[in-house]
Amino acid sequence: MWGGAEEKDALAAIEKSLDLGITTIDTAPVYGFGRSEEIVGKALKSVPRDSYQLLTKCGMNWETEEGEYFFDTNDESGRPIRMHKYAGKNRVIKECEDSLHRLRTDYIDLFQLHWPDATTPISETMEAFEKLREQGKIRAAGVCNYSAPQMKEALQSIELASNQVRYSMVSREIEEDVVPTAKDAGMSILPYSPMERGFLTGKFHPASRFNAGDTRAGSRWMESENMHKLQKLIEKLQEIANSKGATIAQIVLAWTMGRPQVATVLVGARNPDQIQENAGALSLQLSEADLNDIERTIQQLALV
């Protein structure tokens, strides 16, 4: 969905992350149909376990117990694959065991439900999480893409550490009720796609071309009117970045890290160079004037 990645670059990126003090690594079984977890496990096999945190997920399945594939992409052999959301108790426990094996570890720091499953009671999924926590196989439980009502229902069964949700300067729906619910419950927000899948980097333009299977090709941000608005925002971000000797990506990440309830920002990287750039945001401080300039620009352009 993101145009593919090279394993050697991924391994080097993880090594570089640890060198620069980035210790939270988020993955999922469905990323590469197990391949991402295997790469993470391979990269960390000789690293002391208490020097990093592993975050992975469950509830997104790509084959039945009989091995029948069913969904809306293709594997390397060209067979059609569809994703299936299912988080029944026994399935969640099995997925955890499988992830532990692929990650080459005996516990997961944060085990998350990848997407809400309308076919399974939330309490049943949370019961599985509680059992895994009691067994020491997970340290904490979290959810992803949960609405505020779903968070509240889950919290009746278990203490949740976090909700991983899409969040960026121009995708801010969670500020209305998800963030306040997290604050009331003492939960953290883990934003994904803070760079709006790359569209906040300034690297894309109306004539940009993407690799086969890259879903960004159909993004609303590729529409000329939206692309024009984004470009105006990017010009403002570049102005702030220039004043600090930083990059646009670092400004975006620093903005995201400063938002309410945000515990850690999840940002993708294909290679060590991108990791180096991301890490530069850790020491970057945005002033109140910077933040006001960004907010004013976003509102004037009606980007949210």
Q: Mean pLDDT for the chain?
A: 90
Longest dimension (CA), the chain: 58
Separation of alpha carbons 167 and 86, rounded Å? 24
DSSP tag of 15: H
- Whole-number pLDDT of residue 24: 96
**Model pLDDT for residues 107-116, shown as the tens digit of each residue:** 999 999 999 9
- Contact 286/194 with Cβ under 8 angstroms? no
Dihedral of the alpha carbons of 295, 299, 302, 304, in degrees to the nearest 10: 50
Q: How far is CA 198 from CA 47, 161, 264, 269, 293, in A?
A: 30, 28, 18, 11, 21
pLDDT (tens digit per residue) in 246-256 = 999 999 999 99
233: left (phi over 0), alpha (psi -120 to 50) or beta: alpha
pLDDT digits (tens, 9 = 90+) for 94-108: 999 999 999 999 999
The catalytic position among 31, 52, 146, 167 is: 31
**Phi, psi dihedral angles at 43 (to 5 degrees):** -65, -30
**Which residues lie closer than 8 Å to 212 by C-beta, 6 or more apart?**
none
Which domains does the chain possess?
7-198+248-284 (3.20.20.100)
Q: What is the pTM of this model?
A: 0.90
Active site (annotated) includes residue 31: yes
The amino acid occupying position 177 is D
